[in-house]
Amino acid sequence: MQYLPQLAFVIILAVASWLLYKRITQIRKNIFLGKSEDRNDNKPERWKTMWLVAFGQKKMFKRIIPAFLHLLIYVGFLVINLEVLEFVIDGLAGTHRIFAPILGDFYTVLINVFEFLTVGVLFSCVVFLIRRNVLKVKRFHAAEMKKWPTLDANLILVIEIVLMCAILTMNATDMLIQGNDEHYAQTGKFFFSSFLTPLFEGMSTSTLIAIERSAWWFHIVGILAFAVYVTYSKHLHIGMAFPNTWYSNLKAKGHMENMPVVTNEVKMMLGMPVEGAENPPAEVGRFGAKDVNDLSWVNIMNAYSCTECGRCTSECPANQTGKKLSPRKIMMDTRDRAEEVGASIAKGGKGLEDGKSLLGDYITKEEINACTSCNACVEACPVNIDPLSIILQMRRYTAMEESSSPASWNSMFQNVETNFAPWKFAPTDRFKWADELKNAEK
């Protein structure tokens, strides 16, 4: 019986670790449903981008108030979880506050810092709940945010509040137990949790120990369960933001990638030298993207990194004018399709041959045709996600594989091909307007 709590902790830790490993492995497989793409160039710039955008949250501060509240949660998450190390050691070794005798008075200072951040996280989560459910900020209530996305966001905030309350409860009862039980080290006074001690004064030592132990177990089991749950949630960006920003597109925002096969064909038609012309590919692949396997793995990683914050959609000029396009929905649909295909393959199902596709069953032509290619969504994203890349690849598919672009677009394409301009007049007539101005001046 003496080692039963340690055995229980080892089992819980092992189960959580196994579930986490299994889920991360599946996400990795889903991401690599996409085509290969080399994003290992300019490593110094990539490290800089990751530290500024993911770690430093540079782009978050375009909106100061939510950025500050998010920073409290972010720093709290990083720092408070240092205490989880002590929880794990205590759980495995059967000790209690193992660092307290080692660090002495500095331990008290550390716990007070942790408690300050705990209260900061509590405050921020409450404000975010109010913004979502009372103030009803518009970008949190779009069509794609119904049901699960809204529940997921609220559930995470509530879980964080409950976990923070567990820490304060544990510390408050711990202070009352000290001196009455030899297993509880003297730690000094904790500022914020001391406000809760009146709630527990007068209780017996055994009752206080039961409450303190319950809060301890609730917090550590909650943290482990939270870690697993996050991999199914939009809050996966907690971990994905770092690789996503490292592999983000460093080229100028207006740069559009051409298909090498098409570029080489045009060069050969114009009599220009083409690299590798002596060894052309045996078969040309699909032009553009119809399903997730036509996208690159970076595109799918972008989808898994989406925070569903809606900043991209709120900045999208097409969306602002009432069009159906929502860059956030593009990313959510891409992730959902990758999840569907990955789960089917894992179960030995049809996978990509299930009769469905990303374009058509998830994302409509009306949505992608509404995009102005302005890059506002890319600029707005706090973790450098690129919805435009996916949109352009699907538009390329509709134009080059299905020839189903809008009639006005097809006319423009034809004019560009024959007249080298979007307008239907010969290149020789292009400057007639200038001649008319000269004649008018005379």
Percent of the chain with pLDDT over 70: 97
Which residues of the chain, if any, have pLDDT below 50?
none
Distances 401 to 35, 141, 145, 284, 425 between C-alpha atoms, Å: 18, 35, 32, 12, 28
Residues 402-428 pLDDT 10s:
888 888 888 888 888 787 788 877 777
Count Cβ atoms within 10 A of the Cβ of residue 135 and give its class: 0-12 exposed, 13-18 middle, 19 or more buried. Answer: exposed
Is the distance from CB of 399 to CB of 405 less than 8 angstroms?
Answer: yes
For the domain covering 260-271+284-405, report its CATH number.
1.10.1060
Residue 58: which of 282, 278, 382 has the closest Cα? 382
Please provide the size of the chain in residues: 442
* pLDDT > 90 fraction of the chain, expressed in percent and rounded: 64
pLDDT digits (tens, 9 = 90+) for 36-50: 999 999 999 999 999
Residues 6+ apart with CB under 8 A from 327: 312, 313, 316, 319, 377, 387, 388, 391
Given this model, what pLDDT does residue 1 score? Answer: 60
